Amino acid sequence: MLDLFRPFNARFRKIARLQHRDFFDGAVETWELAPAETLQYQSSFHLPGQVERIRASVFAPLPDTIEALTRAGLTHEGPTRAWRLENVDLIDGVLYHNGGEYHLHKRKHPLSLGRRPQSRASGVLYETWATNRWFGSWLMDACVAYDLAAGIGQPVTTMPRSMPGAHQAEYETLIGMAPIHLDGDIHFDELVMLDDLANNSHKGGRARALRNTLVRGREPEPVPGVFLLRGQAGDQRLLTNEQELAALLERERGFKVIDPLSVSVDELIDACAAAKAIVGVEGSHLVHGLTVAPEGAAIVPIQPPERVAATLKQQSDRLGQRFGLLVAEGSHDIFHLRSDELLATLDLFD
């Protein structure tokens, strides 16, 4: 009967403002997969005044985001860890253990607390809420964590199976990912979970191995750069003159212009794997390019001033690429970038 009340217990403690229980407390085993270390990453390149345009950030507090985008010198990165847990319930996208919660998906049913899992499983979970929410996070983090999971046991995921031809399904095939896709409410007799957030050299090595896997056997044509169009796909982040900027780079700098939604993963890899620069509005679609672009390539996301993120800077760091900080003018969802600023930023890299 105690299992039935786990979700109620976790929610009641929140409502009553009782001490928060750590989801990972009571783990039967915890261990370190890679140590903490001090690394040196290159600072971003940018025009004067770009940092001053930043008014708000996502995923981290504004001071931390700016520091991550501009820091130079030594940086401390934490360890990669794992926990082995017993008797964990997954109900409506939320894991419950020891009176704590760990969210993997947004709840769909407000009355889900009274449900009891009818299926049982064990395995190694390699996903997070972020990797389930954004395709780019899935590609840059879940696909890199998959090897960790496979080295411990059977990888499992709550992500639904993608339709054949979808980008996710294509990547899984190319990488050789074969997780068990879980569906519905699950009781885990044993569940291993990973903390793979730290941008340490172990994660960097796995990111490079992923790039090598995706590029192996191909002969991509070297190009000055690729502009990956965002358009109005996903959460609204509209660069009002995106088409004009893309056409400018195609005409004056020899860039390829690609709409990721209209091509296959193979076409994206072939276009980006030998590109000198990857440019486009900040977002998941750029991760297609970052994941396979060569070491030393310039990664230049065009960021809205009220939604600046350092996520892609972290990925470019682990792949040995150079990050260009370029902030447009406008709001968090509608913004504009002067063409001369784009060209001048790319000139800093050249």
Average pLDDT per 10 consecutive residues for the chain, totaling 350 residues:
44 46 94 96 94 96 94 90 97 94 89 73 97 96 97 96 88 97 94 97 98 97 97 79 98 98 97 98 96 98 97 95 97 96 94
Q: Phi first, then psi: what are they for 170, rounded to 5°?
A: -65, -45
Q: Which of 291, 21, 305 is nearest to 174 (CA)?
A: 291
Residue carrying the six token digits 């980008």 = 167
- At 109 the pLDDT is 77
At residue 212, the 3 state secondary structure works out as helix
- Token readout for 204 is 């960097």
Q: What is the pLDDT of residues 173-207, one digit of tens each?
A: 999 999 999 999 999 999 999 999 999 999 999 99
d(CA 292, CA 311): 16
- Token readout for 57 is 């950030």
DSSP 184: S
165: buried, middle or exposed (CB in 10 Å: 19+, 13-18, 0-12)?
exposed
Q: Phi first, then psi: what are they for 323, rounded to 5°?
A: -110, 130
The CA distances from residue 219 to 267, 270, 297, in Å, are 12, 8, 17
d(CA 56, CA 271): 33
- At 234 the pLDDT is 65
Neighbours of 331 (CB within 10 A): 14
- At 74 the pLDDT is 86
d(CA 123, CA 95): 14
55: buried, middle or exposed (CB in 10 Å: 19+, 13-18, 0-12)?
middle
- Token readout for 38 is 């001090």
d(CA 246, CA 52): 25
181: buried, middle or exposed (CB in 10 Å: 19+, 13-18, 0-12)?
exposed
- At 310 the pLDDT is 96
Alpha helix segments (H runs only) across the chain: 6-15, 50-53, 62-70, 129-133, 135-137, 143-152, 167-175, 201-215, 242-253, 265-272, 287-292, 311-318, 339-349
Map out the domains of the chain as residue ranges. 2-32+80-197, 62-74+221-349
Q: Are 311 and 287 in contact (CB under 8 A)?
A: no
- At 9 the pLDDT is 46
Q: Which of 346, 290, 345, 344 is nearest to 318 (CA)?
A: 290
Residue carrying the six token digits 């964590």 = 145
- At 164 the pLDDT is 79
d(CA 322, CA 42): 7
Residue carrying the six token digits 């885990």 = 188
Q: Give the class (CATH, top level) of 62-74+221-349.
A: alpha beta
Q: Are 302 and 337 in contact (CB under 8 A)?
A: yes
Q: 289: part of which helix (H) or strand (E)?
A: helix 287-292
- Token readout for 289 is 């390019």
- At 111 the pLDDT is 62
- At 15 the pLDDT is 41
Enter the pTM of the model.
Answer: 0.91
Bridge partner list, 348:
none
d(CA 41, CA 55): 25
At residue 324, the 3 state secondary structure works out as strand
